[in-house]
Amino acid sequence: MRVEHLDRKEKSTHYLARELAEIIRVDPELFDFIDRYVFDGLWYWNLQKPEDEWMSPQFWLTLGYAPEEKKHLAAEWQDIIDPDDLLVAQQNFEQHCKDPGHPYDQIVRYTHQSGETVWLRCRGFAIRDAEGVATRMLGIHTNVSRLKHIEERYKKIIATMDRVYADLRVALDESEQLFETIPDAILQVDQDGRIVKSNSRATEMFGYSASHLQELTVEDLVPDAIRIKHSKLRHRFQDAPEVREMGNDAMNLSAVTKSGKEIFVDIRLSPYNTKYGLHTIAVVRDITERRKMVSRLKAQEEEEQKLFKLSSTDSMTGVFNRGYFLELANRAHHQGERYDHNFCVMMLDVDNFKSINDRFGHAEGDRALTQIGNILKNSVRKTDIIGRVGGEEFAIVLPESSIDQGVVLADKILYNIEDARMHSDDPDGLGGCPTLSIGLVAKGDENETFNELLYRADQLLYKAKHTGKAKVVY
């Protein structure tokens, strides 16, 4: 009966869809990739036969087409994608095939069956053979049309606000009282960079009298090291004047007072036309104290992070210490119980650790524990929780994981341990990596506490210890 079922399934399912299902079944990394995102279409591409590309039904439904009317060919979607976006996607594809570190991630435009434009974020990654050559591409589409529409409305609102802001700056030339009541320093600059007008706050900030400021250019108010660059940027602004903030990072803009003191500032530029040509209103705010406060807060945050790391992390192995591990583990267990998710716990113990200390000393034992900690951290998923719960004992919590997934991870850990041993000149001696015994359990009935789950894993760990070591019992 199972054979007949598979035969019927194979006849009704495209071969690339079947191939993808098999890969997802055996490769947790692909499962995690798909599981991590909510998408509006899945695609899988045969790079060895580029005309073959499987597109999930959701992709065509998103674009208003009937999936059964579409063939699994790359040409089907290439006919309805924006040509410029297709070029960008092709360039990213070529770079990603050459360099796995280059992301294949772009927003592209498709034409809906109704004629409207649909914005889709297209992400994917290459599946490579043993030589690292890309043979398949797996990807997802996410409909971001609503965000794009909001962005367009936002731009219109900002443009309207900028026009209002520019009008206000024009009014400053007509109203001296308004010019003086602005709490920030204001400089009116002509097209040659000369200061033609300033308010009293500007004289206070820079230390010059109003008449003296009118003898200067704005380049006289910036540090020597950036005066040439500032002049070039000013000319570039005059070629395309608009109301905007000056610079990409206001926290890094600085000015120089008459006494030579350097102050940090942010500047708002508003161009307007006069009978003498294009002038610019520069609203300057001294943010030196604010910058110091931000620096203090950043230093405080870094210090708090260091303290938190010290209080939550085992200093030798770099994994969580017992107290913080148990806190996170109980929290994850509670969430798994609440939503009835799969949940696994793994107990691990270094084999023959006492003999390492006895034969080579405690320094070698510490080195071995550090090595084990690094291997464990590099083996688990980002969502897994790992801690050192005893002298040579570790524990790992696997949220939303079945027992089969737990076994896969345990085997991966044992493989990585063995790999480290194979690359050691003396696997059982000084500098070698010790083996691990592992006990693995999945959650039982709904009344089982995390401590009870941990106890069951510990019992299986001892069984692994007494039946040969360097193995997993589950």
**Structural domain count, the chain:** 3
CB atoms within 10 A of CB 316: 13
Position 6 scores a pLDDT of 45
In a domain, 308, yes or no: no
In sign, the C-alpha dihedral spanning 278, 202, 166, 267 is positive
Which of the residue ranges 248-257, 262-271, 403-412 would you say has the lowest mean pLDDT? 248-257
In the Cβ-directed half-sphere of 117, how many Cα atoms lie within 13 Å?
11
Report yes or no: 44 and 141 within 8 Å, Cβ to Cβ: no
pLDDT at 266 over 80: yes
In the Cβ-directed half-sphere of 266, how many Cα atoms lie within 13 Å?
11
Torsion of CA 432, 416, 463, 406, to 10 degrees: 160
Report yes or no: 137 and 128 within 8 Å, Cβ to Cβ: no
In a domain, 307, yes or no: no
Which whole-number Å values give the CA distances from 33 to 27, 39, 41, 123, 336, in the listed order?
A: 10, 11, 14, 11, 21
Specify whether 403 is located in the same domain as 450: yes
Which of the residue ranges 81-95, 214-228, 387-401 would you say has the lowest mean pLDDT? 214-228
Position 250 scores a pLDDT of 44
Q: Domain of 30: which CATH number? A: 3.30.450.20
Residues near 393 by beta carbon (within 8 Å), at least 6 away in sequence: 347, 348, 349, 350
Q: How confident is the model at residue 5 (pLDDT cuts 50, 70, 90)?
A: very low
In the Cβ-directed half-sphere of 414, how many Cα atoms lie within 13 Å?
19
Position 152 scores a pLDDT of 87
| Chain Cα centroid distance, residue 217 | 44
In a domain, 262, yes or no: yes
Strand 42-46 to 277-286 pairing: unpaired
Sheet with 134-143, strands from edge to edge, namely 53-55, 42-46, 134-143, 117-128, 104-111
Specify whether 28 is located in the same domain as 112: yes
Which helix H or strand E contains 242, and what residues bound it?
none
Specify whether 283 is located in the same domain as 420: no
In a domain, 177, yes or no: yes
The percent of residues above 90 in pLDDT, for the chain, comes to: 54
The percent of residues above 70 in pLDDT, for the chain, comes to: 92
Specify whether 341 is located in the same domain as 453: yes
Position 226 scores a pLDDT of 87
Average pLDDT over residues 251-272: 87
Specify whether 178 is located in the same domain as 119: no
Residues near 62 by beta carbon (within 8 Å), at least 6 away in sequence: 40, 41, 118, 120, 141, 143
Position 116 scores a pLDDT of 94
Average pLDDT over residues 378-404: 95
For the chain, the average pLDDT equals 87
Instruction: Encode pLDDT of 339-351 as tens digits.
Output: 888 999 999 999 9
Q: How many residues are given for the chain?
A: 474
Highest mean pLDDT among 10-19, 137-146, 307-316: 137-146
Report yes or no: 405 and 355 within 8 Å, Cβ to Cβ: no
Report yes or no: 464 and 366 within 8 Å, Cβ to Cβ: no
Return d(Cα 85, Cα 66) in angstroms, integer.
24
Position 396 scores a pLDDT of 97
What pTM does this model have?
0.45
In a domain, 154, yes or no: no
Residue ranges of alpha helices (H) inside 321-422 are 322-339, 353-360, 362-379, 403-422
Q: How confident is the model at residue 173 (pLDDT cuts 50, 70, 90)?
A: low
In 112-194, DSSP assigns E strands to 117-128, 134-143, 185-189
Which of the residue ranges 125-139, 197-211, 234-248, 385-399 would you say has the lowest mean pLDDT? 234-248
Which of the residue ranges 27-31, 223-227, 248-252, 352-356 would you say has the lowest mean pLDDT? 248-252
Average pLDDT over residues 267-288: 89
Which helix H or strand E contains 181, and what residues bound it?
helix 176-181
Q: What tokens does 255 get?
A: 């000015």
In a domain, 3, yes or no: no
Q: What tokens does 116 get?
A: 């409207």
Collapsing DSSP to helix, strand or coil, 245 comes out as strand
Strand partners, 186: 283
Helices (H) and strands (E) in the chain, counts: 17, 16
Specify whether 116 is located in the same domain as 212: no
Q: How confident is the model at residue 34 (pLDDT cuts 50, 70, 90)?
A: low
Return d(Cα 359, Cα 222) in angstroms, integer.
67
Position 424 scores a pLDDT of 78
Choose one of 101, 126, 143: the last residue of a domain: 143
Specify whether 55 is located in the same domain as 179: no
Specify whether 329 is located in the same domain as 465: yes
Specify whether 138 is located in the same domain as 278: no
Specify whether 93 is located in the same domain as 50: yes
Q: Domain of 455: which CATH number? A: 3.30.70.270
Return d(Cα 346, Cα 24) in angstroms, integer.
24
Instruction: Encode pLDDT of 188-236 as tens digits.
Output: 999 999 999 999 999 999 999 999 999 999 999 999 888 888 888 888 8
Q: How confident is the model at residue 377 (pLDDT cuts 50, 70, 90)?
A: very high
Position 133 scores a pLDDT of 94
Return d(Cα 290, Cα 452) in angstroms, integer.
53
**Residue range of the domain that includes 327:** 313-473
Strand partners, 109: 119
pLDDT at 359 over 50: yes
pLDDT at 36 over 80: no
Strand 472-473 to 244-245 pairing: unpaired
Specify whether 349 is located in the same domain as 437: yes
Position 339 scores a pLDDT of 86
Which whole-number Å values give the CA distances from 161 to 167, 269, 452, in the listed order?
A: 10, 14, 62
Return d(Cα 22, Cα 44) in angstroms, integer.
13
Choose one of 110, 143, 176: the last residue of a domain: 143
Residue ranges of alpha helices (H) inside 225-352 are 227-239, 288-312, 322-339
Which whole-number Å values give the CA distances from 13 to 8, 17, 64, 171, in the listed order?
A: 9, 7, 22, 70
In a domain, 159, yes or no: no
Choose one of 290, 305, 329: the last residue of a domain: 290
Specify whether 348 is located in the same domain as 271: no
Position 251 scores a pLDDT of 47
In a domain, 261, yes or no: yes
